[in-house]
A and B are shown apart, each in its own frame.
Chain A
Amino acid sequence: MALDQSFVGRTYPPTAPYEVGREKIREFAEAVGESNPVYTDPEAAKEFGHPDVIAPPTFVFSITFRDAGQVVRDPQLGLDYSRVVHGDQKFAYSRPVRAGDRLTVTSTIEAVKSMAGNDILDIRGEVHDEAGEHVVTAWTKLVARAAEEA
């Protein structure tokens, strides 16, 4: 069943702040095999002009995805989450995420489409720091595959 087009443009309330911790960044960097000291050593980060350790470029997805979840699971939208796959992902950074950041995410549904029975949802997550400055925008395309004919 095609999704409701009236959801396009809908913006959800901003999340409570997520505090980015040095040890969480270290854990993430280790999980993706990153050994660059800029992720773990504040002195190494400072040599590149960063005030503290920074997070790998895709780290912020763990925060934006959690917020996109409230969109995807909005019962009024009616997406079949069990059939959802990740189609595209893009980030545009004003600056890297760093330890000590308190980040909020504001999610907006940019597009709702149906193609060949698949439901396609584009969600934009705007990530701001405690001072209200833009840090990164994450665009997530989710595809709910068509259910097989019974």
Chain B
Amino acid sequence: MTAKIAYDDVEVGTELPAQTFPVTRESLVRYAGASGDFNPIHWNEKFAKEVGLPDVIAHGMFTMAEAIRVVTDWTGDPGAIVEYGVRFTKPVVVPNDDSGAEIEVGAKVAAKLDDNTVRVDLTARSAGQKVLGMSRAIVRLA
């Protein structure tokens, strides 16, 4: 496990390059197939509205998978992730059009820990709302 980033090169407050990830209905269908989560709230507008949602919503696990890309792209090695946790605070609503929705993810080093690990705090927003809370990863650096 070799991260590209050295522990000694980061400080508390170091920002990771932010990224914006598109989410379309096609993304959700692909994710449903790949993950095996076929809950119709993620692909069936009629069903989603019947259970009180504004429209089809992204899988929380899809949003969680996108957000960590900011960290894995930074370290180079996804195997450097030691812990990763999130709280799903708001759904990402995905309209049935060409553009879909966007998930904007930012991250910064919040603490330097033992054994060359750091805690990275993530933020994830969609349509102006925070969609993940308490989103944190522990990462082992070089």
**Shortest Cβ distance from residue A45 to the other chain B in the assembled complex, whole angstroms:** 9
Contacts of A31 in B (CB 8 A): 27, 30-31, 33-35
Contacts of A24 in B (CB 8 A): 34
**Alpha-carbon distance A55/B70, docked complex (angstroms):** 16
Main secondary structure of the interface of A (DSSP, over half): mixed
Give the nearest-CB partner of B77 in chain A: A48
Total residues of chain B contacting the partner, CB 8 A: 35
Contacts of A61 in B (CB 8 A): 35, 61
**Alpha-carbon distance A62/B92, docked complex (angstroms):** 20
**Shortest Cβ distance from residue B24 to the other chain A in the assembled complex, whole angstroms:** 11
Instruction: Decide if A88 touches B35 in the complex (CB within 8 Å).
Output: no
**Alpha-carbon distance A85/B64, docked complex (angstroms):** 15
User: Contact check: which of B69, B77, B87 meets A38 at CB < 8 Å?
Assistant: B77
**Shortest Cβ distance from residue B104 to the other chain A in the assembled complex, whole angstroms:** 15
Instruction: Decide if A87 touches B68 in the complex (CB within 8 Å).
Output: no
Given A34-B69, A57-B81, CB of A89 within 8 Å of CB of B60: yes
Interface residues of B in 33-55 (CB under 8 A from A): 33-37, 51
Instruction: Decide if A48 touches B88 in the complex (CB within 8 Å).
Output: no
Q: Can you name 13 extra interface pairs (CB under 8 A) apart from A34-B69, A90-B86?
A: A31-B27, A31-B31, A32-B31, A32-B69, A33-B21, A38-B77, A49-B79, A61-B35, A82-B51, A87-B87, A90-B83, A91-B84, A91-B85
- Measuring CB to CB, which residues of chain A are less than 8 angstroms from any residue of chain B? 24, 27-28, 30-34, 36, 38-39, 48-50, 54, 56-58, 61-62, 65-66, 82, 85-93, 95-96, 139
